[in-house]
């Protein structure tokens, strides 16, 4: 298990209302201010959550016997596998909830505080994202990867969330016309990508367990 293995899960992190909100903010009256606040909240929330999960899984591995006969690593892998299977169930059950929530109408002219809080909550307070971050942190902690290996995952997630704003800044009106289509597609089909990426990671963890 290494850093490159967990990076694709960043796609699952932003699938759904996370990306949709980023699109709304990029199309708002003040896209720069709202998007930067949103990304700042997401960054803070993810950094804290990933660190907490990393510490928890390091403790779990140590309690289970550390590296003695690989028992600690295998226990963590089993926990991660269970979390990933739970994630697939969560994503599947929520696949048809593609209506735009009423609170998203506030994203047409959001204040920085609202956008910051939204980024913080959407990236950390949803069950699926907590499962993803626990899986990433557990995989790296269980295989004795250093804490800073969490940072590329965090940065990639933020970069994906920033794509609507970057497209707006680079393409201008062409991006403005395309963003609603991206939003609608993400609402309807992002769950499929989430399931595929998670399934690949399930296969990787399972393969590691049978070694």
pLDDT of residue 38: 95
pLDDT of residue 87: 86
Give the number of other CB atoms < 10 A from CB of residue 182.
18
Higher pLDDT, 183 or 20: 20
* pLDDT tens-digit series, residues 154-192: 999 999 999 888 888 887 666 666 666 666 666 666 677
Kindly report the average pLDDT of the chain as a whole number: 82
Higher pLDDT, 109 or 105: 109
pLDDT band at 43, cuts 50/70/90? Answer: very high
pLDDT of residue 156: 95
* pLDDT tens-digit series, residues 56-71: 999 988 887 655 557 7
**CA–CA separation, 166 and 182 (whole Å):** 14
- Tell me the mean pLDDT in the region 122-135: 90
pLDDT of residue 135: 92
**CA–CA separation, 129 and 134 (whole Å):** 8
- Helices of type H across 94-172: 112-124, 127-142, 150-171
CB-facing half-sphere around the CA of 13: CA atoms within 13 A: 30
pLDDT of residue 98: 52
pLDDT of residue 51: 97
Higher pLDDT, 130 or 211: 130
């Amino acid at each position: 298990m290494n850093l490159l293995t967990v990076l694709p899960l960043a796609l699952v992190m932003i699938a759904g209302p996370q990306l949709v909100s980023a699109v709304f903010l990029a199309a708002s009256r003040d896209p720069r201010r709202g998007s930067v606040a949103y990304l700042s909240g997401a960054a803070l929330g993810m950094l804290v959550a990933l660190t907490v999960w990393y510490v928890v899984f390091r403790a779990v591995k140590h309690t289970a016997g550390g590296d003695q006969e690989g028992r600690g690593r295998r226990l963590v892998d089993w926990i991660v596998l269970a979390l990933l299977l739970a994630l697939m169930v969560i994503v599947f059950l929520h696949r048809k909830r593609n209506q735009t929530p009423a609170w998203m109408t506030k994203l047409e002219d959001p204040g920085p505080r609202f956008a910051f809080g939204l980024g913080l909550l959407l990236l950390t307070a949803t069950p699926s994202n907590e499962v993803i971050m626990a899986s990433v942190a557990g995989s790296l902690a269980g295989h004795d990867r250093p804490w800073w290996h969490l940072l590329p995952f965090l940065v990639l997630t933020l970069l994906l969330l920033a794509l609507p704003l970057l497209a707006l800044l680079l393409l201008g009106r062409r991006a403005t016309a395309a963003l609603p289509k991206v939003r609608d597609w993400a609402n309807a089909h992002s769950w499929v990508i989430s399931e595929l990426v998670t399934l690949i990671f399930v296969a990787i963890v399972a393969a590691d367990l049978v070694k």
